[in-house]
Amino acid sequence: MGPEPNQARLGELIQDIRNDAAGAIAEFRRIFLPGCSFLIRRRLGESDVQEGAQSTLDAAIGQIREDKSIEGKDLPALIRKLIAQRFAAVRDLAARNGAGQIALEAAKATLEGMSPVERDALRRCYVLGESPESFLKSLKLTPDQFREIRIRARTQFSTRTSHEINVA
Least Cα distance to 141 among 125, 157, 154, 158 occurs for: 125
Residue 2's pLDDT is 47
pLDDT in tens, the chain (168 residues): 444 567 788 889 999 999 999 999 999 999 999 988 888 887 766 666 788 888 888 889 989 999 999 988 888 889 888 888 777 655 565 566 666 677 778 788 888 888 999 988 888 887 777 888 888 999 999 999 999 998 888 888 877 776 554 444
Least Cα distance to 153 among 137, 121, 33 occurs for: 121
Residue 47's pLDDT is 63
pTM of the predicted model as reported, rounded to 2 decimal places: 0.50
Residue 97's pLDDT is 64
C-beta contacts of 42-48 below 8 A and 24+ residues apart: 43/83, 43/87, 43/90, 43/91, 44/87, 44/90, 44/91
